[in-house]
Amino acid sequence: MGLAGIFVPQSMLAREKIVLGGLQQWGEMQSLQAAQVYMRHGQQVIGLAPMQPDAGPDTQLLLHFDALPSYDEAGKFLIEQDISRLVADDTARGDGAGIFSRRPMRLLNQYADFFRPDTLQHGFTLSFFLYSPALRDGEEIISWRGMAETPQGLQVQQFKAIILNRRVVLSLESMLKADGDTLKSIEIAGDRDLLPRRWTHHFFRYSAETGLLEYYVNGVIRAVKYATSTGREGGSGWPLHIGGLSGTEMIIGEGLSGMLDELLISSAPEALPEDRIVRAEPGRAVSVPLELRDVRNRITEINVQVNEPGSTRVSPYFKIGSWLEPNGDVQGEWRPLEEMAFRNDQMENDDDSFRGRFVQLRFDLQADGDGSNSPEVVEAAVVYEELPPLIVPAGVSVAVEGNGLRVSWNKVHDRTIGGYKVFFGTAPGEYFGEDAVAGISPLDVGLQTSVLLTGLRQDKVYYFSVVSY
């Protein structure tokens, strides 16, 4: 079966299959927009990328742990000692999570106002995802030490989140400026034990205006304390005092055997993050072009296996063509997969709209209304018919004729032959010519055994190949 639509008996066709995803994995993708590839039950799937916080005007530190070397998205801390490993297939958010093996990160404050010596701060937010296999006592998430000069002498200050008794405890030691120059401490912990070997989101928030210190785990309030003159709601809140002798070092993950993700510190009491697991906007995943080896080969099926929980949706598209764009995409228009399903039932053997050297797949992903679920593309299989090799005519010759070149060849004596194609170009094996008046390479000349090509450039050497179909 050839591009001119001449019938080829089914016995001459071989069916081939290209499988992406699942146990075969997706390999390199052409592009991922608000989407990511990750492991699910031992299979590689495509889904929407989870929500990640963005650095705002009050953000003092933001570590996504998506790539090494680590980088503070707020641009205020310098990473002096980094972690050495990330995990990509079991993250809380984004493309990676930081792996800690009791060796901490060390950061130096360069521009963060919240930890600037001899300042008053009127609130903060500390947010992070934690994965600890054992929840051992003494595993630290974050630690900062300062020094304040008071009438009572020098006082050590500490801002620390640590695991104790299977709970995360946040302590602010000698950091709250009460009446006069007195520095007070406060500590807050959850009301129940954490479970090991799973991701949990921890969110601490303090406002000096109300003195309210809150602690949320996975979006659920777990503890409340008041840093006020009365110790309860209604008193005057206390600001945080950063001592004038404080240093610039912050330590992340001291003694921790586990993972951290999306660590954020803000100098303001931020709103609780939206209860979204994935992005509200649609995502898109585009495969690299998949080569079918021959422009005559025809796609017969594209089977896509998806998971669509709730009202989530996957919309698959495909492109078939014989040429690539400069950006690497297959030339042509995206077509919905339903078009193939509809036309395949009625497809004739001479339907060239499903023929080409390349096929490319695209998946548009839409979350449900509240962002609590993502659709997933588990696997895609492209089935195509591969024609037998083309018969190359013998006796090909090229001769100057007038202002053109005449290409001639011997007739192929085979009753299944439907015609000949003439390939031409300016380098051996690269037959991408576009200069001929008759059209671009390859030229379909039917059953004639010669063709005159005019319009070719006089300063070029041209190479030719002839095949039958």
What is the domain-level CATH number for residue 35?
Answer: 2.60.120
Burial class (CB in 10 A: 0-12, 13-18, 19+), 385: buried
Q: How many domains does the chain have?
A: 3
**Is 4 inside any structural domain?**
no
Question: Where do the DSSP E strands lie in 282-369?
Answer: 283-287, 290-291, 298-307, 313-321, 335-336, 358-366
Answer yes or no: do 314 and 361 share one domain. yes
Answer yes or no: do 356 and 335 share one domain. yes
Answer yes or no: do 291 and 426 share one domain. no
The pair of three-digit structure tokens given for residue 394, joined into one six-digit string: 């013998």
Answer yes or no: do 123 and 158 share one domain. yes
**Is 340 inside any structural domain?**
yes
Answer yes or no: do 298 and 407 share one domain. no
pLDDT for residue 53: 81
Answer yes or no: do 101 and 223 share one domain. yes
**Is 271 inside any structural domain?**
no
pLDDT for residue 351: 62
Backbone torsions φ then ψ of 341, nearest 5 degrees: -60, -35
**Is 147 inside any structural domain?**
yes
What is the domain-level CATH number for residue 430?
Answer: 2.60.40
**Coil, strand or helix: which one is 341?**
helix
Residue 453's domain spans which residues?
Answer: 397-468
Digits of tens for pLDDT over the chain (469 positions)?
Answer: 222 222 223 334 567 899 999 888 898 899 988 888 888 788 889 998 877 788 999 999 999 999 999 999 999 999 999 999 998 777 888 778 999 998 999 999 999 999 999 999 999 999 999 999 999 999 999 999 999 998 888 999 999 999 999 999 999 999 999 977 799 999 999 988 999 999 999 999 999 999 999 999 988 999 999 999 888 888 789 999 999 999 899 999 999 999 999 999 999 999 887 655 566 678 999 999 999 877 778 888 999 999 999 899 999 999 999 889 998 999 999 999 987 764 444 444 456 788 888 999 999 999 887 777 889 999 999 999 877 777 788 899 999 998 889 999 999 887 667 789 999 988 887 888 888 999 988 899 989 999 999 998 888 888 998 988 7
Answer yes or no: do 71 and 27 share one domain. no
**Is 391 inside any structural domain?**
no
pLDDT for residue 341: 60
Answer yes or no: do 34 and 83 share one domain. no
Answer yes or no: do 312 and 413 share one domain. no
Task: Choose one of 386, 417, 432: the last residue of a domain.
Answer: 386
Answer yes or no: do 303 and 369 share one domain. yes
Q: What is the pTM of this model?
A: 0.60
Burial class (CB in 10 A: 0-12, 13-18, 19+), 24: middle
pLDDT for residue 9: 31
**Is 274 inside any structural domain?**
no
**Is 273 inside any structural domain?**
no
**Is 392 inside any structural domain?**
no
Measure the CA–CA gap between 447 and 386, rounded to whole angstroms: 23
Answer yes or no: do 98 and 221 share one domain. yes
What is the domain-level CATH number for residue 178?
Answer: 2.60.120.200
Answer yes or no: do 60 and 192 share one domain. yes
Amino acid identity, position 327: N
Task: Choose one of 320, 353, 386: the last residue of a domain.
Answer: 386
Task: Choose one of 236, 266, 296: the last residue of a domain.
Answer: 266
- Which helix (H) or strand (E) covers residue 343, if one does? helix 337-344
pLDDT for residue 4: 21
